[in-house]
């Protein structure tokens, strides 16, 4: 769909460069996990880059300190900072894309790690995590827009933050970090450590967005975190102070309804509960998610077709059922008179440029030794992603023109709203002046001329929308006062 023939001319094959690439670091090891016969193959060698960047940062920071000013002389070692953040654990990255059929591509992404991932890169589970099946598919409804599962370890994030604080502040930094982690949430017994532990574990999740009503889209979500159910009971003290309703089910499950905190107009509810298995579940609707009766995602033909070639077990799985974003976009613009003449062209361009990216996709990530490998089956190729940026630059003038029209229209609407606000404020002054007049004079009616003037209740009323206040009479019995604008619109104010 998307510039297939043009892309073949623009993005040349890197096959001829293999001998050169093989000399660079670990390309040979990475390429074993790539489709070298596909339409795109690329490799980035990060070995030594972190040291080079950190050395340059150290030099720049030292010059800033030498220049004086208000920069505090904090001892910053960027070499150590980069290492603590985990950048030194990434040695290289490769990617490839191969077309399997007219509307299906296999995209592979390979990251070579220098031992176990460290710092921020260990957040989503390391090479020691046990591969599992796509468990979420057997829990969530077939109409889920997005679903996935895999391990999340926030404890590694805390370790990284603590290490960096020690680097900058020594033992005091570690003490400050521990103090914050042990500090309870107001009106509860839950500490930051409890939350971090509660949100660390294997996640199974699903999300659904229904855009049938553009004015009020409906959102559903469901997340299950293994072994974290005890967090719910620790939040029970928040019930009275934050209007959270706790309900204990007959089977022992404790449900906390946080929906009042989200707001009555929110497009979703917000509940958390502990299951009888000791898991923590966060969800938007009791009738959508893990306890749903009816067809499940694992039985959906579209899901089965996309995931059949993925590994049976992996570290992380993800699935997208696709989005009807183009239809939604078309419906939104149909009512815009300024865009009507261009709608067909805009929709054709949008479909040509990004249509494939909203098609269904499925992926799995797993380790093979020091290689973190991701396989994705999708309606688009990585090559299309590479071409999207320069193509969008070409489309920028048209988008800028549309944006200018929208801004101009919005400014006109804003100006009209501002005028109406000024008129309403004038009426408010008149109403207040009239009440004061009735109180002081003991009368039940008053003319505008008796209220407005240099030495009267209102010094001056300035019309802003062609309205006239002349001849206005206000009485105590009036429920509202009003004035007619030049456009014929009537602005009223209840009394």
Give the pLDDT of residue 439. 81
User: How far, in Å, CA of 206 to CA of 139, rounded?
Assistant: 9
E strand intervals along 385-495: 445-447, 473-475, 480-484, 490-494
DSSP three-state, residue 90: strand
Which is it for strands 361-368 and 371-378: parallel, antiparallel or unpaired? antiparallel
- Closest Cα partner for 158 from 112, 191, 190? 191
Give the pLDDT of residue 212. 63
Q: Per residue in 423-466, pLDDT tens?
A: 888 898 898 888 888 888 889 999 999 999 888 888 888 888 88
Helix (H) or strand (E) holding 368: strand 361-368
Q: Which residues lie closer than 8 Å to 232 by C-beta, 6 or more apart?
A: 254, 255, 256, 272, 273, 274, 280
Q: Which residues lie closer than 8 Å to 148 by C-beta, 6 or more apart?
A: 136, 203, 204, 205, 206, 316, 317, 318, 319
Dihedral sign computed on CA atoms, order 233, 235, 240, 244: negative
For 118-155, give one letter per residue: b (16+ CB within 10 A) or e: bbbbbbbbbbebebbebbbbebbbbbbbbbbbbbbbee
User: How far, in Å, CA of 338 to CA of 403, rounded?
Assistant: 11
Dihedral sign computed on CA atoms, order 363, 365, 366, 368: positive
What the block records as the tokens of 254 is: 């404790």
Spatial contact of 426 and 49, defined as CB atoms under 8 Å apart: no
Spatial contact of 356 and 301, defined as CB atoms under 8 Å apart: no
User: How far, in Å, CA of 138 to CA of 165, rounded?
Assistant: 42
Helix (H) or strand (E) holding 209: strand 201-210
DSSP three-state, residue 239: helix
Question: Which residue stretches of 254-381 are H helix?
Answer: 259-262, 301-307, 325-334, 343-354
What the block records as the tokens of 158 is: 């805390």
User: How far, in Å, CA of 378 to CA of 1, rounded?
Assistant: 13
User: How far, in Å, CA of 147 to CA of 364, rounded?
Assistant: 12
DSSP three-state, residue 94: strand
| CA gyration radius, the chain | 31
* CA 483-487-490 angle, 5° bins: 30
Helix 154-169 to helix 78-85 angle (10° resolution) is 170
Q: Which residues lie closer than 8 Å to 139 by C-beta, 6 or more apart?
A: 204, 206, 224, 289, 290, 296
Question: Which residue stretches of 103-228 are H helix?
Answer: 154-169, 171-182, 192-198
Q: Which residues lie closer than 8 Å to 413 by C-beta, 6 or more apart?
A: none
Q: Per residue in 109-154, pLDDT tens?
A: 998 887 777 777 776 556 567 889 999 999 999 999 999 999 988 8
Burial of 352 (0-12, 13-18, 19+ CB in 10 A): middle
Spatial contact of 92 and 47, defined as CB atoms under 8 Å apart: yes
Dihedral sign computed on CA atoms, order 112, 117, 119, 123: positive
Give the pLDDT of residue 411. 44
User: How far, in Å, CA of 343 to CA of 341, rounded?
Assistant: 6
Helix (H) or strand (E) holding 98: strand 90-101
Under-50 pLDDT residues of the chain: 1-25, 393-396, 398-415
């Amino acid at each position: 769909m998307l510039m297939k023939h043009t892309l073949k001319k623009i993005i040349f094959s890197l096959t001829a460069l293999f001998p050169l690439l093989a000399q660079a670091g670990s390309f040979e090891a990475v390429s074993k996990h790539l489709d070298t016969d596909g339409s795109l193959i690329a490799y980035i060698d990060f070995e030594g880059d972190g040291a080079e960047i950190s050395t340059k940062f150290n030099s720049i920071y030292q010059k800033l300190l030498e220049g004086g000013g208000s920069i505090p002389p904090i001892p910053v070692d960027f070499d150590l900072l980069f290492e603590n953040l985990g950048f030194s654990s990434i040695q290289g990255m490769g990617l490839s894309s191969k077309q399997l059929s007219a509307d299906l591509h296999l995209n592979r992404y390979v990251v070579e790690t220098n031992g176990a991932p460290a710092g921020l890169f260990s957040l989503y589970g390391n090479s020691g995590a046990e591969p599992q099946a796509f468990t979420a598919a057997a829990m969530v409804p077939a109409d889920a827009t997005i679903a996935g599962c895999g391990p999340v370890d926030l404890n590694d994030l805390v370790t990284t933050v603590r290490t960096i604080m020690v680097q900058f502040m020594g033992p005091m930094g570690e003490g400050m970090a521990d103090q914050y982690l042990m500090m309870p949430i107001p009106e509860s017994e839950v500490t930051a450590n409890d939350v971090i532990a509660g949100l660390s574990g294997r996640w199974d999740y699903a999300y659904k967005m229904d855009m049938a009503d553009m004015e009020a889209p409906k959102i559903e979500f469901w997340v299950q975190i293994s072994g974290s159910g005890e967090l719910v009971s620790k939040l029970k003290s928040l019930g009275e102070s934050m209007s959270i309703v706790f309900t204990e089910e007959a089977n022992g499950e404790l449900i906390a309804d946080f929906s009042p905190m989200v707001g009555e107009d929110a497009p979703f509810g917000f509940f958390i509960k502990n299951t009888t298995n000791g898991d923590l579940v966060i969800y938007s609707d009791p009738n959508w998610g893990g306890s749903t009766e009816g067809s499940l995602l694992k039985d959906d033909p579209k899901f089965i077709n996309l995931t059949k070639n993925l590994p049976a077990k992996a570290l992380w799985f993800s699935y997208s059922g696709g989005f009807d974003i183009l239809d939604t976009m078309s419906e939104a613009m149909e009512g815009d008179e300024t865009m009507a003449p261009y709608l067909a062209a805009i929709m054709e361009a949008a479909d040509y440029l990004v249509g494939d990216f909203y098609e269904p996709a499925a992926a799995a990530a797993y380790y093979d030794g020091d290689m973190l490998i991701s396989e994705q089956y999708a309606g688009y190729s990585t090559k299309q992603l590479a071409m999207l940026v320069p193509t969008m630059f070409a489309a920028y003038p048209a988008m800028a023109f549309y944006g200018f029209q929208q801004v101009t229209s919005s400014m006109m609407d804003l100006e009209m709203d501002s005028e109406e606000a000024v008129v309403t404020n004038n009426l408010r002054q008149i109403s207040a002046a009239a009440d004061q007049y009735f109180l002081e004079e003991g009368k039940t009616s008053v003319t505008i001329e008796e209220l407005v003037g240099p030495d009267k209740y209102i010094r001056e009323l300035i019309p802003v929308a062609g309205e006239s206040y002349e001849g206005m009479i206000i009485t105590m019995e009036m429920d509202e006062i009003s004035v007619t604008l030049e456009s014929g619109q009537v602005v009223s104010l209840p009394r």
